């Protein structure tokens, strides 16, 4: 098999797909192009060239979002849409205690360590989300099977056919109203499995301001970093 060389800003993913698709990766603005096995390099380059205006538009959007400066300051963690100061106490546990009044997090983690930060969000999600999901399900009359919380790259949540709910630990960075919406969204899938009119009607009944949350996820949500 020969190696195909593409320009460094382009990443090719060959898959069992029927057509070519493009996306711009948020982290590094690389062009990710998914193509069927049989498509040649020339055809791929032609496809990318044809879509240059779209690519430039997406990159411009990403830069605008970045200029919002949703980045973490040293010694702090972004939590539920706000910046919390981290007080590192070696024998405090992980995730430790979140003090909402004083906006501090007392934990054993070093907030400058990216791997520890990620783990902190995961543990925090495990502590905070299950009771919120339980309450929301009870309030709106939904039944779910079980909850799983993991680090995911592209999705905020999903719902399996058997009624199991899956959530992305990264949602702990979002404001509370967005977290509530993400919970409602997946709970609503236990009754309406697809994104049809009936689904969105149900979401709106349970979460009247859901459009605001959707907007947050499409804009700020795309550049949040743990
Ligand atoms: Zn959905």
pLDDT digits (tens, 9 = 90+) for 193-226: 999 999 999 999 999 999 999 999 998 898 888 8
Q: How confident is the model at residue 66 (pLDDT cuts 50, 70, 90)?
A: confident
Averaged pLDDT score across all residues of the chain: 91
Whose CA is closest to 26, among 153, 159, 181?
Answer: 153
- Cα 141 to ligand 1 centre (Å): 18
pLDDT of 63 over the 90 cut = no
pLDDT digits (tens, 9 = 90+) for 69-126: 566 778 999 999 988 999 999 888 888 999 998 999 999 999 999 999 999 999 999 9
Prediction pTM value = 0.76
Buried b / exposed e over 79-113, threshold 16 CB at 10 Å, is bbbeebebbeeeeeeebbebeeeeebbbbebebee
Tell me the average pLDDT across 145-170.
93
- Cα 193 to ligand 1 centre (Å): 8
Say what the pLDDT of residue 94 is. Answer: 85
- Cα 158 to ligand 1 centre (Å): 7
- The DSSP element (H or E) to which 202 belongs, if any, is helix 197-206
- Cα 36 to ligand 1 centre (Å): 26
Q: Residue 13 has which token pair?
A: 């993913």
- Cα 160 to ligand 1 centre (Å): 11
For residue 124, the tally of other CB atoms under 10 A from its CB is 22
- Cα 201 to ligand 1 centre (Å): 13
Q: Residue 156 has which token pair?
A: 């905020």
Say what the pLDDT of residue 68 is. Answer: 66
- Cα 63 to ligand 1 centre (Å): 27
- Cα 45 to ligand 1 centre (Å): 33
Tell me the average pLDDT across 136-153.
95
Say what the pLDDT of residue 1 is. Answer: 43
- Cα 46 to ligand 1 centre (Å): 33
- Cα 58 to ligand 1 centre (Å): 23
Domain borders along the chain are 10-66, 117-223
- Cα 144 to ligand 1 centre (Å): 15
CA 190 to CA 187: how far, in whole Å? 5
CATH class of 117-223: alpha beta
């Amino acid at each position: 098999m020969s190696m195909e060389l593409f320009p460094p800003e382009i990443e090719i993913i060959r898959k069992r797909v029927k057509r070519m698709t493009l996306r711009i990766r948020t982290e590094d603005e690389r062009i990710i192009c998914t193509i069927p096995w049989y498509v040649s390099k020339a055809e791929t380059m032609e496809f990318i060239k044809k879509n240059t205006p779209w690519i430039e538009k997406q990159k411009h959007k990403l830069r605008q979002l970045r200029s919002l400066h949703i980045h973490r300051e040293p010694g702090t963690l972004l939590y539920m849409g706000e910046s919390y100061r981290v007080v590192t106490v070696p024998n405090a546990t992980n995730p430790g205690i979140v003090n909402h009044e004083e906006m501090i997090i007392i934990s054993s983690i070093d907030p400058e360590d990216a791997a520890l930060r990620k783990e902190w969000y995961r543990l925090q999600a495990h502590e905070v989300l299950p009771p919120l999901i339980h309450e929301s399900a009870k309030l709106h009359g939904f039944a779910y099977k079980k909850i799983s919380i993991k680090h995911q790259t592209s999705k905020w949540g999903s719902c399996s056919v058997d009624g199991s709910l899956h959530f992305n630990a990264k949602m702990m960075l979002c404001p509370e109203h967005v977290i509530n919406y993400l919970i409602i969204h997946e709970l609503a899938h236990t009754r309406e499995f697809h994104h049809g009119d009936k689904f969105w009607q149900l979401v709106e009944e349970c979460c009247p301001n859901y459009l605001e949350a959707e907007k947050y996820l499409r804009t700020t949500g795309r550049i949040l970093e743990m």
